[in-house]
Structure 1
């Protein structure tokens, strides 16, 4: 009989299916409900109407969301729960019942839910990196293809070879398959030229396409904070990591680290490289998002790898107790890692008279109202305009669903380049109100 120190067992096919099914159901129950904040409203609008995501376009995510709408509004929840379930199944399935218990405990963690179950890029991205991490002996072409797919979800995908193991031989083949995986980006100009409803960046021509996929607009806004060491960003990032480990998850992570240090030091080094790359990427490339649910997911993946390693060494009873401690600590946290702003959005829209218009500066509220108007068809009469985004396609979207809307007063008339932003906003609002006497306008400011 194999000792606990040699536990690498595989369950029967029936248990494997049950393992995956339980995780998928748990992910669905713990997933997002109502109207999400941040990019969730954009995601469900894409799922309902189709189109392109915000820069750099994230075409694979957009296509997955569109397919998920076959299940109506439950589609994004199902999509993210499946991504979470397959990820944890790949990482923990070799440990049998103890692996299932630990996977469920991880699934219940607020740090996991707010990253992997949110309607955003990080669920599919976490799955692709989990595939790479669980198949470190994968061929170079497969690594290249997975990297291309990951890049078509989010720019973080460029780091995927670090999860699968970087090998110099076959670099040409890897590059070719990377391009094949990333070729999904060609969907962006096709969708834009076809007149898709949500058309971030309008990448229908070469100039627009290059601007979209390179996220040059973001670099213009946030470029000053990139490439420089930020102690504040580092502190926020470390705080996020500490929140993952405390009060209970740090135990299986530490046990796994010790286990790998004694027997599989190269595997430990690979996981630590992921943690280091995550830190460098956050601190130097994306410091604005440090400490939020949009970062530290790669560190979370590495910690899951370490927790999986702990399952090879300890008796099943001990592992079940540790899993129970992790889950109990998560369930004791009363804060909701997946906020629901449905009450706020409905309160705003339900109180508005017919043919109302809203100037919204808060993107959370804007995308939440998108959910009601575009995804649910709840208030088709309402006009939604942004005072924080001046992209022409925002106005095209509003005119498409409110054909009587007159937005003929453009940026040039409002002041053009060099005019202070608040002045431009005030003039655009004034012109829109003047040109649309049939609408009564409100603002969130």
Structure 2
């Protein structure tokens, strides 16, 4: 009988996880961007899609496992549903990753509350809360790396909290995480602590340390894909041109972005602390944040190891997000939001138990219904600001420039949004090449790197001077090829430019 009850409880948790995942998938599908988008800091999507199509290397650190998965996913959906938009297929992959992370979150929360007969309910609420958090929702409806990152965060949490004695799970989660997004390394101190406190013996640290080390080494091996892909062709999207050691280190270590992490003024850091507080509060409202603190207080009282684990999990990524001065650094707070969704459920359960001692009602079920309705209300109120089903800005831009460009044009871009959209139109779905055969896109800001100059020379050996600079290119090919700019260059006399839709055309 006890065995049957244990299996039934496990089955109810599994069913609750599937239910939450399906709800999440439906939410993401109905709110998903129909194509390539710039919303929610998602401009990288155009580049990632194009890199997957050409088997190239996207921006640092190269995301080897994501590009491999995305490349095969695009091919599979293209075979199964050939009429679908290429970017829509990539957006669908993000929705699947996001829904899978919701399923894993249910399992983790239910395990931490395994002594409660209603653990399936608490797990369900944790999963639904995580589903509706703006950070996860916004990244699960467009092509980006962060929904997979969210899934791997949840898997690492599940491995070290629910299955700490099965170290192969931890090694696998670390390997996949390192192969995808290197910020997962910031979670390893918390993971090591959770594993050590779950083992016994004088050398209880040895097994966990080996598991993390083996996982890290296996994950690092995935980066072999980068020099292999960089050397073939070469592909037109080939950051770092990493077929050599220098380019590989430049790419994987994120050398181009180091300036964003160091040298921040005290005022800038304080502003980032304010942003951190706002982003964390925004995920579950002030009430949810308060319940999260209640959950941490419960762990402090009855499970101090979980309290310490939480602090080790939250602190490194929070410091990194605060010190990393970029427009999208708040996305690195995904691990904080994930843990908060679990702690908030623990806090909510504690409040419900306090109320149950004072009211002769089935307060747990009533509270569960109230929480589910609250999550539904959050979804409805956030729909207008998060949902992208009517988003068309990036697609409209591509259509407009496609109507202006001429065959054999040179198109100069500067910023990420326009650059990655153009790359998608040229090397992704090919819409810009269809509109303007022979189109050559160049990025002015990337000419500062020797690898980009080398790449342009190898891609276009019949165009002398394309490996020098944009000003040199303009003077050499003015009157010989149509030249367009996504942004009017400040170094060029404005009298030599004329408007052409959203572009600027060089007067011959």
Q: Same fold by TM (over 0.5)?
A: yes
Rate the CA distance shift 1:98–1:68 in 2: closer, same or farther, 3 A: same
Rate the CA distance shift 1:201–1:155 in 2: closer, same or farther, 3 A: same
User: In the alignment, is the contact (CA less than 8 A) between 1:406 and 1:432 conserved in 2?
Assistant: no
User: 1:376-409: per-residue Cα shift (whole Å, max 9, x none)?
Assistant: 22120243222222256667887999x6973524
Deviation at 1:251, TM superposition (A): 5.3
Q: Distance in 1 between matches of 2:374 and 2:395?
A: 34
User: In the alignment, is the contact (CA less than 8 A) between 1:65 and 1:75 conserved in 2?
Assistant: no
Residue number among 404, 421, 425 corresponding to 1:368 in the alignment? 421
Deviation at 1:373, TM superposition (A): 2.7
Q: Distance in 1 between matches of 2:92 and 2:465?
A: 41
Corresponding residue SS for 1:11: helix
The equivalent of 1:112 in structure 2 is 136
The equivalent of 1:88 in structure 2 is 102
Q: Distance in 2 between matches of 1:125 and 1:404?
A: 39
Q: Distance in 1 between matches of 2:443 and 2:31?
A: 32
The equivalent of 2:182 in structure 1 is 155
User: In the alignment, is the contact (CA less than 8 A) between 1:146 and 1:178 conserved in 2?
Assistant: no
Q: Distance in 2 between matches of 1:387 and 1:397?
A: 14
The equivalent of 1:61 in structure 2 is 66
Rate the CA distance shift 1:191–1:105 in 2: closer, same or farther, 3 A: same
User: 1:286-308: per-residue Cα shift (whole Å, max 9, x none)?
Assistant: 2335x644331121111122134
Residue number among 462, 470, 484 corresponding to 1:441 in the alignment? 484
Rate the CA distance shift 1:15–1:235 in 2: closer, same or farther, 3 A: closer
Residue number among 198, 210, 218 corresponding to 2:249 in the alignment? 210
Matches for 1:7-18 after TM superposition, within 5 Å: 9-12=9-12, 16-18=17-19
Matches for 1:202-281 after TM superposition, within 5 Å: 202-219=241-258, 221-222=259-260, 224-225=262-263, 230-246=269-285, 249-250=288-289, 252-281=291-320
Q: Which has the larger radius of gyration?
A: 2
Query: Under a length normalisation based on structure 1, what TM-score does the superposition of the two structures give?
Result: 0.82
The equivalent of 2:334 in structure 1 is 297
1:335 aligns with 2:385: yes
How many residue pairs align between the two structures? 420
Q: Distance in 2 between matches of 1:307 and 1:34?
A: 35
Bigger CA drift: 147-156 or 229-238?
Answer: 229-238
User: In the alignment, is the contact (CA less than 8 A) between 1:47 and 1:62 conserved in 2?
Assistant: yes
Q: Distance in 2 between matches of 1:232 and 1:15?
A: 40
Q: Distance in 1 between matches of 2:423 and 2:466?
A: 23
Q: Distance in 2 between matches of 1:16 and 1:216?
A: 40
Deviation at 1:264, TM superposition (A): 2.4
Q: Distance in 1 between matches of 2:36 and 2:189?
A: 35
Q: Distance in 1 between matches of 2:192 and 2:130?
A: 24
Structure 2 unaligned spans of 5+ = 1-7, 79-85, 111-118, 197-204, 353-363, 489-508
Bigger CA drift: 327-336 or 204-213?
Answer: 327-336
Deviation at 1:203, TM superposition (A): 0.8
Residue number among 213, 216, 224 corresponding to 1:175 in the alignment? 213
Rate the CA distance shift 1:211–1:362 in 2: closer, same or farther, 3 A: closer
Structure 1 unaligned spans of 5+ = 1-7, 415-424
Corresponding residue SS for 1:230: helix
Deviation at 1:30, TM superposition (A): 3.0
Deviation at 1:158, TM superposition (A): 0.7
Q: Distance in 2 between matches of 1:14 and 1:337?
A: 27
Deviation at 1:234, TM superposition (A): 1.9
Corresponding residue SS for 1:55: coil
The equivalent of 2:441 in structure 1 is 384
Rate the CA distance shift 1:223–1:260 in 2: closer, same or farther, 3 A: closer
The equivalent of 1:164 in structure 2 is 191
1:34 aligns with 2:35: yes
Once superposed, what is the RMSD of the aligned Cα atoms? 3.2
Corresponding residue SS for 1:354: coil
Query: Under a length normalisation based on structure 2, what TM-score does the superposition of the two structures give?
Result: 0.73
Q: Distance in 2 between matches of 1:259 and 1:243?
A: 23
User: 1:185-232: per-residue Cα shift (whole Å, max 9, x none)?
Assistant: 11111111122342111111222222222222322x436436988222
1:44 aligns with 2:82: no
Q: Distance in 1 between matches of 2:483 and 2:191?
A: 56
Deviation at 1:364, TM superposition (A): 0.8
User: 1:242-298: per-residue Cα shift (whole Å, max 9, x none)?
Assistant: 2223255335434533443443232233123222122212233x2335x64433112
Rate the CA distance shift 1:377–1:255 in 2: closer, same or farther, 3 A: same
The equivalent of 2:492 in structure 1 is none
The equivalent of 1:319 in structure 2 is 368
The equivalent of 2:412 in structure 1 is 359
User: In the alignment, is the contact (CA less than 8 A) between 2:412 and 2:486 conserved in 1?
Assistant: yes
Rate the CA distance shift 1:91–1:105 in 2: closer, same or farther, 3 A: closer
Rate the CA distance shift 1:317–1:11 in 2: closer, same or farther, 3 A: farther
Q: Distance in 2 between matches of 1:361 and 1:101?
A: 44
